[in-house]
């Protein structure tokens, strides 16, 4: 029997189709590997192959030269640009804006052979500091309303270069998916005077069936109504609405949990491609009681097909309890 489940935050329904249940090994997937690439523009020594850096963590070495740990550069083919004024106009039904924003690439390591699953914890933590530094800088531009930080790992997850990197897009609007989460969280708060994500953490740590791992600062869990097989959420236990407000200890703990979660996926799902997305409050909002930042990781194991596009409903062939169990059992 298929199981229809409703996400407690967004109210989005998903179909968990247990009849089509697949074992982790049955997914037709890409296994992501890194091959040496002498032309890779993100490798150390190739700094002249990217636009000049916006930010880099260096030990006294000159900008745009060797000797860095994390490097942030503008995207060579940006979806949006910072220059110009924000003009909004409408033609009858249709609204449009010019492409104000920013599109940046965070090169996570100078070493082509490493990934977030194999880098050391300090190196992963530095990536989070780079995300935070860029958010704090871009936030000063009041035209920008939202920053999406995301990572495409593997060609079928949308990565065009295999060297470990994440991306940041700053937008003059709040994207619809985020709007749905924010509205859902607000609704819950108005009814219960509690953060829905704090409620989820409390219930999931008590219940345990969808819990993947647990530390004093974070939980990794399969959500109750996941859109995709092995969809995983990492949530800070301390209530905070903005990623950039996390403490040093929380970034260190998150580094450990991201690394561990990706290692679990690599082991159980044969190094799958994945998308990782940071969900945080809109830029010009103050810290709120109702929203709770988190990270969502979606291994790319199935294709989104016509039914999903046509209905907004997702059919997920793996229940979250099974997914959590598989990931939890991985010996690290």
- Active site residues per annotation: 165
For Zn ion, give the closer residue by CB, 100 or 153. Answer: 153
- Provide CB contacts within 8 A for 253, sequence distance 6+: 215, 216, 217, 218
CB 63, min distance to Zn ion, A? 19
* Geometric angle at alpha carbon 314, from 235 and 103, rounded to 5°: 60
The two tokens of residue 265 are: 């996926």
Q: Does 40 bind Zn ion (CB under 5 A)?
A: yes
**How many Å apart are CA 164 and CA 147, to the nearest integer?**
20
DSSP assignments along 198-242, one per residue? HHHHHHHHHH-TTEEEE-SSEEEE--SS-SSTT-EEEEESS--S-
For Zn ion, give the closer residue by CB, 197 or 224. Answer: 197
CB 96, min distance to Zn ion, A? 27
Binding mask 50-89 for Zn ion (x = CB under 5 A): ----------------------------------------
Q: Which stretch binds Zn ion (CB under 5 A): 195-203, 224-232, 248-256, 320-328?
A: 195-203
For Zn ion, give the closer residue by CB, 82 or 161. Answer: 161
**How many Å apart are CA 79 and CA 73, to the nearest integer?**
14
**How many Å apart are CA 32 and CA 272, to the nearest integer?**
6
**How many Å apart are CA 322 and CA 50, to the nearest integer?**
43
Q: Does 195 bind Zn ion (CB under 5 A)?
A: yes
Q: Alpha carbon of 48 to those of 44, 52, 53, 127, 153: distances in Å? A: 10, 8, 10, 21, 24
For Zn ion, give the closer residue by CB, 108 or 260. Answer: 108
For Zn ion, give the closer residue by CB, 103 or 112. Answer: 112
Q: Does 97 bind Zn ion (CB under 5 A)?
A: no
CB 192, min distance to Zn ion, A? 12
Footprint (CB under 5 A) of Zn ion, residues 158-187: 163
For Zn ion, give the closer residue by CB, 43 or 54. Answer: 43
Question: Sign of the CA dihedral 24, 27, 32, 33?
Answer: positive
Q: Applying CB under 5 A, which of residues 43, 105, 149, 262 lies at the interface with Zn ion?
A: 43
CB 263, min distance to Zn ion, A? 21
**How many Å apart are CA 128 and CA 18, to the nearest integer?**
37
Q: Alpha carbon of 229 to those of 15, 140, 300, 302, 332: distances in Å? A: 11, 38, 8, 8, 21
Q: Does 198 bind Zn ion (CB under 5 A)?
A: yes
Q: Does 134 bind Zn ion (CB under 5 A)?
A: no
CB 245, min distance to Zn ion, A? 12
Binding mask 265-304 for Zn ion (x = CB under 5 A): --------------x------------x------------
Q: Does 112 bind Zn ion (CB under 5 A)?
A: yes
Count of residues of this chain found to bind Zn ion when the rule CB under 5 A is applied: 11
Nearest to 129, CA basis, from 75, 171, 70: 70
Backbone angles phi, psi at 47, to 5 degrees: -60, -25
Binding site for Zn ion (CB under 5 A): 40, 42-43, 112, 163, 195, 197-198, 239, 279, 292
């Amino acid at each position: 029997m298929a199981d229809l489940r409703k996400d407690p935050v967004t109210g989005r329904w998903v179909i968990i189709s247990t009849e089509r249940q697949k074992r982790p090994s049955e997914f037709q997937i890409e296994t992501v590997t890194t091959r040496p690439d002498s032309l890779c523009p993100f490798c150390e020594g190739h700094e002249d192959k990217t636009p000049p850096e916006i930010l880099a963590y260096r030990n006294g070495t000159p900008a745009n030269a060797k000797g860095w740990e994390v490097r942030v550069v503008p995207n060579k083919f940006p979806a949006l640009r910072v220059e110009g004024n924000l003009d909004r106009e409408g033609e009858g039904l249709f609204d449009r804006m010019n492409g104000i924003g920013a599109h940046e690439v965070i090169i996570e390591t100078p070493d082509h052979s490493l990934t977030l699953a194999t880098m050391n914890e300090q190196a992963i933590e530095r990536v989070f500091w780079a995300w935070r530094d860029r958010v704090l800088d871009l936030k000063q531009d009041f035209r920008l309303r939202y920053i999406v930080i995301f990572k495409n790992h593997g060609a079928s997850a949308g990565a065009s270069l295999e060297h470990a990197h994440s991306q940041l897009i700053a937008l003059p609007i709040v994207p619809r998916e985020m709007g749905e989460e924010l509205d859902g969280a607000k609704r819950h708060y108005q009814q219960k005077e509690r953060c829905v994500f704090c409620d989820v953490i409390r219930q999931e740590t008590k219940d345990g069936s969808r819990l993947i791992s647990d530390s004093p600062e974070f939980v990794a869990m399969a959500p109750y109504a996941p859109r995709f097989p092995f969809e995983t959420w990492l949530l800070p236990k301390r209530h905070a609405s903005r990623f950039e407000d996390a403490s040093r200890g929380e970034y260190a703990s998150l580094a450990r949990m991201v690394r561990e979660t990706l290692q679990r996926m690599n082991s159980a799902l044969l190094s799958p491609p994945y998308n990782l997305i940071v969900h945080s409050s809109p830029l010009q909002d103050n810290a709120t009681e109702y929203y709770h930042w988190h990270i969502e990781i979606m291994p790319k194991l199935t294709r989104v097909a016509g039914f999903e596009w046509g209905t907004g409903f997702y059919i997920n062939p793996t229940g979250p309890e099974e997914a959590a169990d598989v990931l939890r059992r991985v010996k690290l």
